[in-house]
Amino acid sequence: MLKLALVDDHKLFRKSLAALLGTLEGVEVIYESDSGKDFLSFLKENKDVDIALLDIQMPEMDGYTLCGKVLNTHDTIKILMISQLSSKETIRHVMQSGAHGFVTKNSEPEQLELAIRNLNTTGFYLGPELGSVLKDLMLFQQGGNELQPDSDFLSDREKEVIRLICRGKSSAEIAEELFIHQRTVETHRQRMINKVGAKNFIGVIVFALKHNLLDVEDLS
Amino acid sequence: MKGTGEEVVSLFYIGTAIMLFLAFGLLFIVVTYQRHFFRMKRKEAENMLKVSLESEKNERARIAADLHDGVSGDLSAIKNYLSVLAKKESENKEIFDEIREGVDAALQNTRAVSHNLMPPLLETEGLVPALKGYLESIGAKAQIYFEVTANGAVALPASVAYQLFRVLQELTTNMVKYGNVSKCDINIALNKEALTIDITDDGTPFNFRENLAKPNASGLKNINSRLHAVGGVIVQEEEKQVGNHFTITLKNVNNA
Amino acid sequence: MNIKEILPLIATILAFSPLTITFFRKTNPCFNYEMLAIKPYLWLIFIGAFYELIFTSFLRIPSAYWFTAYTFLEFLALWYFFRELLGLRYMYFFKGTMFIVIVGFLIILYYWEYNIHTTLEAYLLVPILLFVFISSFIWFKDLFNKEIISLWIIPSFYFISGLIIYFSGGFFISLLYDQLKIITGLSETNWLVFVSGLIIMYIMITIGVWKGTEKKP
């Protein structure tokens, strides 16, 4: 049973989201509140939250700050940011905050379900909003000091792993396909994250796209 | 009035001198005071203009935020509940789909109105990104290709950026409505002395001054008021057969 | 010819210029009503100068009658000018002044004698002078309520300034002329003060007319 937490100051929306999530199979909403602080206190007692859905615009503590704090103490929790905003600035901020995925409040319920499933299997979710913005972000980011890495900065194996992850495969499935151990897959992931200096795997993807180690088409 | 010759003469000179003194004095006072007075009045009018534009901007921002935050969230909530219902009850699927479409439309409209009231990127990212975003969306609908270029970073005080955005919004709206424009270039250049915005389009020639004199010219008058409030001027380069070229100049932007 | 003769001549010639300008240039539409209002006065000084030149200088006809009549006509022309300029708000003021001056004029006609006619005219000048000053004052006051960018482009500014200077300068000389005539020699010199005032006024009026007109297309 996937354990979900919801933090959003818009009460009506939060309750509707909880109701919607409650209809999904294998998903249970164990916590919802309108305050980031309350959520943090909750987390001190209860450690087994799998996924946390955080609203960005909140009066007391905004989503980015909350995300950072949660990941500080509970880095196994997957964070899905929700917001009404979908500007490039917002998405860039989301990616920098270490969150694992992003959906808009206006998303279709199917997309929401996909996001949660993906977060669970691959550990991140790249929705259509991020996808279309990523391309612009690649051109937008002025990485002056970044040298163009060698084409073998990422090993072929690592590139393969990225591609399979982008297609939504879980670590177990990737291991099967590549005839390697699941643990090896996890290691590859972590190593890539470290190499690129990102906070999570999305950063790796952005990096790969930027330096043409990956094509946008590879992202389904 | 009979007196000695000398008395009369001195009376004459003194009298005339006094009269002339009074006359010139009056004129002098009038001339100097009038200029001062006029300057005060003008300053007052300018201040009032600035205040009213500022309050308009704040009002709109507030409405945009309320609209966006409150209403959007509520509509999304309705959508979610609809989805919950739809899963439980498959009989009324069509109705649910209709309702969902309606809610989507309402959401879109809310967003459009909110964005129109206060362009979202303006406060966070500045004039150029906000302009690009806005023109992309209206350009797509109106089938006009807008190209916004800026030489370097354009950092402006928020109120100035807001008024300039509105001015450009007005100009481009006119292009969309009447202009028969297919391509429009907007170039923004900021250097030490001034900010210059060049707007070139390839549509029907449009004489700014002539149209300003027409009765329905409130949009154009608005442009002038806003530019006046931020210390800018708009000049129309010489008319050609096809297309228009406007230049907006703001001096001393960095000291604003 | 010495200066005593040149100055009056200059004044007479200058008196022709304002009206002449209006023949060669058309009125600037902004100042239409002002130009219409000053027209009678322009005609008056033109005719006055004409009279001076022809009758007085050439034909040496005594000008005493003309001066008295001129004083009254001058008042009428200026009365018309200010009434047009200030509008209907001050009707009581205008009617009152007209009444006073007419009465004054009739009284003067009654006591008219050649020797003292200038002094009599000077007495009449008192209400006229007050009228000019008060009207100018009112005009300036009303000016502040309007949004005027610059005084220097308004023809009326020049007209009124000219009138004020002329009347202030000329008042005492008119008053004391007969006295000064008795004290010989001085009257003529002092009369030049009057003539200078006249010249200044004509110049101002000419500038005003110039500002109020524009080139004929």
pLDDT digits (tens, 9 = 90+) for A132-141: 666 665 555 5
- pLDDT of A142 strictly over 50: no
Q: Name which residue leads in pLDDT, A91 or A147.
A: A91
What are the chain A neighbours of B133 within 8 Å (beta carbons)?
87
Nearest CA-CA distance, residue B105 and chain A, Å: 11
Residues 32-51 of chain B with CB under 8 A from chain C are 34-35, 37-38, 41
CATH number at residue A49: 3.40.50.2300
Q: Which residue of A has its CA nearest to B73?
A: A13
Q: Which residue of C has its CA nearest to B45?
A: C147
Q: What is the mean pLDDT of chain B?
A: 83
| Residue B125 and residue A89 in contact, taking contact as beta carbons nearer than 8 Å | yes
What are the chain C neighbours of B44 within 8 Å (beta carbons)?
none
pLDDT digits (tens, 9 = 90+) for B149-158: 888 777 788 8
Which range, of A71-85, A151-165, B36-50, averages the lowest pLDDT?
A151-165
Nearest to A20 among B68, B83, B129 (CB): B83
Same-domain check for residues B87 and B127: no
Q: Which of A96, A125, A154 is the last residue of a domain?
A: A125
Q: Which of B95, B116, B137 is the last residue of a domain?
A: B116
| Residue C92 and residue C66 in contact, taking contact as beta carbons nearer than 8 Å | no
Is B28 at the interface with chain C, CB within 8 A? Answer: no
In a domain, B220, yes or no: yes
Is B48 at the interface with chain A, CB within 8 A? Answer: no
Mean pLDDT of C148-170: 83
| Residue B133 and residue B144 in contact, taking contact as beta carbons nearer than 8 Å | no
Same-domain check for residues A90 and A169: no
What are the chain C neighbours of B15 within 8 Å (beta carbons)?
171-172, 175-176
Which element (helix H / strand E) includes A81?
Answer: strand A78-83
In a domain, A148, yes or no: yes
Cross-chain residue pair C168–B34, CB shorter than 8 Å:
no
- Residue C183 binned pLDDT confidence (cut-offs 50, 70, 90): low
In a domain, B246, yes or no: yes
In a domain, A160, yes or no: yes
Identify the pLDDT of residue A145: 42
- pLDDT of A70 strictly over 50: yes
Mean pLDDT of B87-99: 79
What are the chain A neighbours of B73 within 8 Å (beta carbons)?
10, 12-13, 84, 105
Q: What percent of chain A clears pLDDT 70, i.e. is strictly above it?
A: 81
Q: Which residue of C has its CA nearest to B32?
A: C151
Same-domain check for residues B127 and B106: no
Is C141 at the interface with chain B, CB within 8 A? Answer: no
Residue B164 sits in which domain range?
120-251
Identify the pLDDT of residue A139: 56
Same-domain check for residues B12 and B66: yes
- State the best of B6, B7, B10, B16 to mutate against chain C, taking most chain C CBs within 10 Å: B16
Alpha carbons A62 and A58: distance in angstroms, whole number: 5
pLDDT digits (tens, 9 = 90+) for A209-219: 766 666 666 55
Q: Which residue of A has its CA nearest to B103?
A: A106
Q: What is the mean pLDDT of chain C?
A: 81
Is B231 at the interface with chain A, CB within 8 A? Answer: no
Cross-chain residue pair B16–C143, CB shorter than 8 Å:
no
* 3-state per-residue secondary structure call for chain B: CCCCHHHHHHHHHHHHHHHHHHHHHHHHHHHHHHHHHHHHHHHHHHHHHHHHHHHHHHHHHHHHHHHHHHHHHHHHHHHHHHHHHHHHCCCCHHHHHHHHHHHHHHHHHHHHHHHHHCCHHHHHHCHHHHHHHHHHHHHHHHCCEEEEEEECCCCCCHHHHHHHHHHHHHHHHHHHHHCCCCEEEEEEEECCCEEEEEEEECCCCCCHHHHHHCCCCHHHHHHHHHHHHHCEEEEECCCCCCCEEEEEEEECCCCC
Q: Which of B96, B116, B136 is the last residue of a domain?
A: B116
In a domain, A137, yes or no: no
Same-domain check for residues B68 and B135: no
CA dihedral (C125, C127, C131, C133) positive or negative: positive
Mean pLDDT of B187-213: 84
- pLDDT of B34 strictly over 50: yes
Same-domain check for residues A156 and A192: yes
pLDDT digits (tens, 9 = 90+) for A7-42: 998 888 999 999 888 888 888 999 899 888 888 888
Q: Domains in chain B: how many in total?
A: 2
Identify the pLDDT of residue A143: 45
Mean pLDDT of B79-95: 81
In a domain, A131, yes or no: no
Same-domain check for residues A156 and A181: yes
Task: Report DSSP state, residue A1.
Answer: -
Cross-chain residue pair A106–B83, CB shorter than 8 Å:
no
Same-domain check for residues A158 and A99: no
What are the chain B neighbours of C144 within 8 Å (beta carbons)?
34, 37
Same-domain check for residues B170 and B237: yes
- pLDDT of B184 strictly over 80: yes
Cross-chain residue pair B76–A15, CB shorter than 8 Å:
no
In a domain, B189, yes or no: yes
| Residue C68 and residue C112 in contact, taking contact as beta carbons nearer than 8 Å | yes
Token readout for C23 is: 């023949």
What are the chain B neighbours of A20 within 8 Å (beta carbons)?
80-81, 83-84
- pLDDT of B99 strictly over 70: yes
Is B69 at the interface with chain A, CB within 8 A? Answer: yes
pLDDT digits (tens, 9 = 90+) for C133-157: 888 888 888 877 776 667 777 888 8
- pLDDT of A112 strictly over 60: yes
In a domain, A207, yes or no: yes
- State the best of C172, C204, C207 to mutate against chain B, taking most chain B CBs within 10 Å: C172
Is C168 at the interface with chain B, CB within 8 A? Answer: yes
Strands A101-104 and A78-83, bridge-based pairing: parallel
Same-domain check for residues B94 and B146: no
Q: Which residue of C has its CA nearest to B9?
A: C180
Q: Domains in chain A: how many in total?
A: 2
In a domain, A184, yes or no: yes
- State the best of B7, B38, B41, B42 to mutate against chain C, taking most chain C CBs within 10 Å: B38
Chains in contact with C via at least 3 Cβ–Cβ pairs below 8 Å: B
CATH number at residue B221: 3.30.565.10
CATH number at residue A207: 1.10.10.10
Alpha carbons C148 and B34: distance in angstroms, whole number: 9
Q: Which residue of B has its CA nearest to A10?
A: B73
Question: Helix-strand-coil percent breakdown of chain A, rounded to 5?
Answer: 55, 15, 35
Cross-chain residue pair C169–B1, CB shorter than 8 Å:
no
Token readout for B195 is: 């900010």
Q: Which of A125, A152, A174 is the last residue of a domain?
A: A125
Placement of tokens 């040149």 in the chain: C6
> What is the Cα Rg of chain B in Å?
30
Q: Which of A93, A125, A157 is the last residue of a domain?
A: A125
Identify the pLDDT of residue C54: 76
Same-domain check for residues B166 and B230: yes
Identify the pLDDT of residue A7: 92
Same-domain check for residues B146 and B28: no
Q: Do chains B and C touch (3 or more CB pairs under 8 A)?
A: yes
Mean pLDDT of B211-234: 85
Same-domain check for residues B143 and B192: yes
Chains in contact with A via at least 3 Cβ–Cβ pairs below 8 Å: B
Same-domain check for residues A95 and A201: no
Q: Which of B101, B116, B131 is the last residue of a domain?
A: B116
Alpha carbons B212 and C100: distance in angstroms, whole number: 51
In a domain, B256, yes or no: no
Q: Do chains C and A touch (3 or more CB pairs under 8 A)?
A: no
In a domain, A198, yes or no: yes
Same-domain check for residues A152 and A109: no
Cross-chain residue pair B84–A85, CB shorter than 8 Å:
no
Is C118 at the interface with chain B, CB within 8 A? Answer: no
Nearest CA-CA distance, residue A80 and chain B, Å: 17
- pLDDT of A162 strictly over 80: no
Between B and C, how many residue pairs show a Cβ–Cβ distance under 8 A? 66
In a domain, B84, yes or no: yes
Residue A69 sits in which domain range?
2-125
Mean pLDDT of A183-209: 77
Nearest CA-CA distance, residue A13 and chain B, Å: 4
- pLDDT of B256 strictly over 50: no
What are the chain B neighbours of C140 within 8 Å (beta carbons)?
26, 30
